[in-house]
Amino acid sequence: MGARVDITSQATLVAALRLVRAQIAEQKEMERAIEDKLKALLGEATEARIGGEPVVYYRWTKPRRQVDVRALREEHPDLVKEYTRTTAPSRRFVLLDPTAGGGGES
């Protein structure tokens, strides 16, 4: 583990971040519920209108083509090794949940 710093004097920042994340999660849940209701109203339709003006599109996307990396790794490991590149490391920010015991993420 790396260096540590005590931010006891800034504990309100951590509390504020927890609060904002909880509010965002609540808003996302509301967004999903409203979106689900609109999708149900649309049924098989691809467009919804209010007063004759389009307000929602619900269209199919084109199918995507992607490489089955697991199968490629199993069947051609040398090829995968040849074309695999390593990226620069990055830092991951994790807000821990003190109620989770053992430092679980919140």
What does each of the 106 residues of the chain score in pLDDT, given as a tens digit?
A: 689 999 999 999 999 999 999 999 999 999 999 999 999 999 999 999 999 999 999 999 999 999 999 999 999 999 999 999 999 999 999 999 888 766 667 6
The structural domains of the chain, with segments of one domain joined by +, span 8-86
User: Sign of dihedral through CA atoms 7, 12, 15, 17?
Assistant: negative
35, 22 in Cβ contact below 8 A?
Answer: no
Residues 6 or more apart whose Cβ sits within 8 Å of residue 49: 55
Strands (E) in the chain, as ranges, are 47-50, 53-57, 96-97, 104-105
Q: Which of 49, 50, 80, 55 is nearest to 67 (CA)?
A: 80
Residue whose structure tokens are 């807000």: 95
- pTM score of the predicted model: 0.73
Residue whose structure tokens are 């821990």: 96
42: enclosing H helix or E strand: helix 11-42
Instruction: Determine the Cα–Cα distance for residues 3 and 91; give it in Å rounded to an integer.
Output: 13
